[in-house]
Structure 1
Amino acid sequence: MNHAADESTTILKADSFGRILLVGGGEQRFVRRDLGATPWWLRGFAWILACREARALARLDGLPATPRLLGWDGRWLDRSFMAGAAMYQRPPQGDVAYFRAARRLLGQVHRLGIAHNDLAKEANWLVREDGSPALIDFQLATCGRPRARWMRLLAREDLRHLLKHKRTYCPAALTPVEKRILKRHSWLRSAWFATGKPVYRFVTRRLLRWEDNEGQGPKP
């Protein structure tokens, strides 16, 4: 764990669940999730999310194009910095190679027994300097046996979200199988839209006064 208090820091994001900081400079940069800025009444939930992320990153164990876990002490979660732009900042318009590589990366993550669960957000897909994809923000991730029925269902939802981005930026490259996957909605998706999403919107918009905007930051 990097505890140096005199290192330069830049706030990348701040919301009700804490702050995301870029710490250090040059090759020594890393990203810190700081729960110390979380309101007391949300601290328990923020801690659970950080634990989920730490567990997923530990299981990824340095898989290329994903962050490495550097430390987690209950307040600070440190992970390696990954250079790149969010998908909405550098759209992979017509980039078949990007989406082919993204599907391979997602398959590797799933084979390690991890479902990301938050891939509708373009902010969680990076376009790296060489144009290749990377994945970040595993705080909603689920870990389990890759072949378990529940994990296969979650993995399919991850894939559907990737294919929705492909439909946005590279629609001509969608295969007949991918089009069928996009049309086939699981009971999990239906249950989320019927029950989970209204609760999520109430908590984030009414209680926290925060609009996620699918990972593109708060609306003005």
Structure 2
Amino acid sequence: MSSSADTATELHALKSDSFGRIALMRGADGGLFVRRDLRHVPLWLRLPAWWLARREARGLARVRGMADVPQLLRWDGRRLDRSYMAGAAMYQRPPHGDLAYFRHARRQLQALHRRGLAHNDLAKEANWLVLDDGRPAIIDFQLAVVGDSRSRWMRLLAREDLRHLLKHKRTYCRAALTPVEQRLLRRRSWVRDLWFRTGKPVYRVVTRKLLKWEDNEGQGPKP
């Protein structure tokens, strides 16, 4: 992998912001992979960018070998390479009425949680892929939390992951929501309330005022 990574060719950028550049790459062996490159991050943002990339590498290492999530190929402190999955973001290929998609997505979440990982950023449709064969895939593990799956904290985060999935199901497959799922959607945790009261206002100031960038709920910067 190292020789392929060193001689890789960038095909096109998938996303570029103040925390790094994400691009589709072709290795020397002809294989495709995705690279997060921190080498052009502004000096004052290098520490948080490195911290987020390191967190992603740790999360990907925890789910190594699992289907329909990226596989960690390399992390050297400046570049993070992960496997490529052919598909489109949920908002680009909406799974309207696709109950099979959401059933598969729930099983996938359960598999993540059994491995002791909570994704922690699944409200963004950009972090859910619809693969070419219609299956769901989960990407972007920058905010993932790793821990004991039996702990109260991890169970709480896992429930929040599920709530975010159910919000997408409500958008695209509302008629299929079960009574239990509807109750879970109405059950807001203290983590969610704390984020909206404290964390989200700070996040908006940093992204919109300091970085001049608006996340647009995971759909990238607005044109």
Say whether the fold is shared (TM-score over 0.5): yes
The structure 1 residue matched to 2:34, chosen from 15, 27, 31, is 31
Matches within 5 A, 1:47-62: 47-62=50-65
Report matched runs for 1:14-29 at 5 Å.
Answer: 14-24=16-26, 28-29=31-32
> Is structure 2 residue 188 aligned with structure 1 residue 175?
no
Alignment of 1:64-213 (within 5 A): 64-213=67-216
Q: CA deviation at 1:9?
A: 3.1
What is the alpha-carbon distance in structure 1 between the residues aligned to residue 80 and residue 188 of structure 2? Answer: 35
The one-letter code sitting in structure 2 at the alignment partner of 1:170 is C
Q: CA deviation at 1:61?
A: 0.9
User: Alpha-carbon deviations, 1:17-70, whole Å to 9, x = none?
Assistant: 010011117960000000001111010001010111001101101200000000
Aligned-pair Cα RMSD in Å: 1.2
Q: Corresponding residue for 2:219?
A: 216
Q: Which sections of structure 1, spanning at least 5 residues, go unmatched?
A: none
Match of 1:10 among 9, 12, 15: 12
Query: Any gaps of 5 or more consecutive residues in structure 2?
Result: none
Identity, % of aligned positions: 69
Rounded to whole Å, the distance in 1 between the matches of 2:10 and 2:171 is: 38
TM-score by length of 1: 0.97
CA distance in 2, matches of 1:167, 1:3: 41
Q: Shift in Å at residue 6 of structure 1? A: 5.4
Amino acid of the structure 2 residue aligned with 1:148? S
Native 8 Å contact 2:8 2:26 kept in 1: no
Q: TM-score, normalised by structure 2?
A: 0.96
Cα deviation per residue 1:190-210 (whole Å; 9 max; x = unaligned)? 000000000000000000000
SS at match of 2:105: helix
